[in-house]
Amino acid sequence: MRLSTKSRFAVAAMIDLALREQAGPVSLGSIGERLQISLSYLEQMFSKLRQQGLVESTRGPGGGYTLGRAATAISVADIIKAVGRPPPRPPATPPPPAPAPRGQTPP
């Protein structure tokens, strides 16, 4: 199975996080340095992972990310679905009614 670049980066970042979270929250900057991934790209990716509950964030000094659940409960498919999911589409609005022909009133 071929993975997109985004999916490969996400899986690699999650593995990096799982291997290092025992020492506390892991910063995206440190993950980016180790994996050679830009910080802005990681921020976008981890936002999606956080929305799906795969990671949790800690703010402030010493903050960073930890896994949202046990590593054994997170599958590669979970990660791929989280980062590959397109943003939700707005609800469809019905088209406006067609204008009545001249000289007739609408029903």
Q: What is the pLDDT of residues 9-34, one digit of tens each?
A: 999 999 999 999 888 999 999 999 99
What is the value of pTM for the model shown? 0.75
Q: Flag whether pLDDT at 41 surpasses 90.
A: yes
Q: Flag whether pLDDT at 89 surpasses 90.
A: no
Q: What pLDDT score was predicted for residue 40?
A: 94
% of the chain at pLDDT higher than 70: 88
> Does residue 67 sit in helix, strand or coil?
strand
37: nearest Cα among 53, 57, 19, 14? 14
Distances in Å between the alpha carbon of 23 and those of 63, 66, 82? 12, 10, 25
95 confidence band (pLDDT: 50, 70, 90): confident
